[in-house]
């Protein structure tokens, strides 16, 4: 079983202090705590502590806060990654109806996760696993926590434009495709 390095959380910054306030004393406790929070958008994506105050998070905010916790403890080999994968009815069954209604086999979706050396970690949901997306991964790049909002959107939209240009049989504009994607995200939030 692949395991991230563990460390004792010390008051080394804002993120560390927020975990300590909740009696979360190690990185492994933090990953478990974050993974068990419900999936949902945060009130302020630019303030990672809202993951803890909102008691929820998305793949972006959940992994960004864990990455920042690692950085505060100089664990710089725990990388925050942005991948784009083929979101389809098999790896994301709850989106099947929306994809089918829009005559799409899949839609390229951005996903944020952690990577340590060559090992992948996904703490988005209780049952999340890198196996849910790795076989369908189309692209990945390391990002910084500050990029999970506008930076992630820009990378994702640039990828979608290129994908639409290569798949001329798909008759959607970027805006149409983005709205279908937003419906898939709403499906995931239910």
CA 189 vs CA 94, 172, 183: distances in Å: 10, 24, 10
Structural domain count of the chain:
2
Range of the domain at 58: 14-72
Query: What single-letter DSSP state applies at residue 164?
Result: H
Secondary element (H or E) of residue 173: none
- Ranges of the chain whose pLDDT falls below 50: none
The Cα–Cα gap between 3 and 120 comes to 9
Confidence at residue 32, expressed as pLDDT on a 0 to 100 scale: 97
Q: Are residues 105 and 130 in the same domain?
A: yes
The Cα–Cα gap between 96 and 117 comes to 33
HEC letters along 125-153: CCCCCHHHCHHHEEEEEECCHHHCCHHHH
Confidence at residue 1, expressed as pLDDT on a 0 to 100 scale: 57
Is residue 21 situated within a structural domain? yes
| Percentage of the chain lying above the pLDDT 70 cut | 99
Confidence at residue 89, expressed as pLDDT on a 0 to 100 scale: 94
Q: Are residues 40 and 118 in the same domain?
A: no
Quick one: which of 75, 45, 80, 43 has its CA closest to 150? 45
Is residue 29 situated within a structural domain? yes
Is residue 4 situated within a structural domain? no
Q: What is the pLDDT of residues 21-51, one digit of tens each?
A: 999 999 999 999 999 999 888 999 889 999 9
Is the CB of residue 59 less than 8 Å from the CB of residue 51?
A: no
Confidence at residue 162, expressed as pLDDT on a 0 to 100 scale: 97
Is residue 8 situated within a structural domain? no
Question: Tokens 């909002």, residue?
Answer: 149
Q: Are residues 103 and 36 in the same domain?
A: no
Confidence at residue 185, expressed as pLDDT on a 0 to 100 scale: 86
The Cα–Cα gap between 115 and 33 comes to 18
Confidence at residue 41, expressed as pLDDT on a 0 to 100 scale: 85
Is residue 38 situated within a structural domain? yes
DSSP characters for 38-106? EE---S-TT-TTHHHHHTEE-HHHHHHHHHHHHHHTT-TTEEEEEEEEEEETTTSGGGHHHHHHTT-SE
């Amino acid at each position: 079983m692949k395991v991230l390095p563990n460390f004792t959380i010390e008051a080394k910054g804002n993120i560390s202090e927020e975990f300590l306030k909740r009696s979360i004393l190690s990185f492994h406790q933090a990953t478990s705590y974050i993974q068990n929070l419900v999936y949902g958008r945060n009130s302020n994506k630019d303030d990672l502590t809202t993951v803890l105050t909102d008691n929820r998070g998305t793949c972006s905010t959940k992994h960004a806060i864990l990455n920042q916790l690692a950085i505060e403890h100089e664990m710089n080999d725990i990388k925050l990654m942005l991948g784009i994968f083929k979101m389809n009815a098999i790896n994301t069954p709850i989106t099947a109806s929306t994809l089918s209604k829009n005559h799409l086999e899949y839609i390229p979706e951005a996903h944020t996760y952690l990577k340590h050396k060559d090992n992948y970690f996904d703490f988005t949901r209780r049952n999340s696993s890198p196996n849910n997306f790795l076989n369908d991964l189309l692209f990945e790049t390391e990002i910084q926590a500050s990029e999970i909002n506008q930076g992630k959107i820009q990378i994702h939209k640039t990828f979608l434009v290129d994908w639409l240009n290569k798949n001329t049989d798909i008759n959607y504009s970027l805006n149409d495709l983005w709205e279908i994607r937003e419906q898939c995200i709403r499906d995931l939030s239910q």
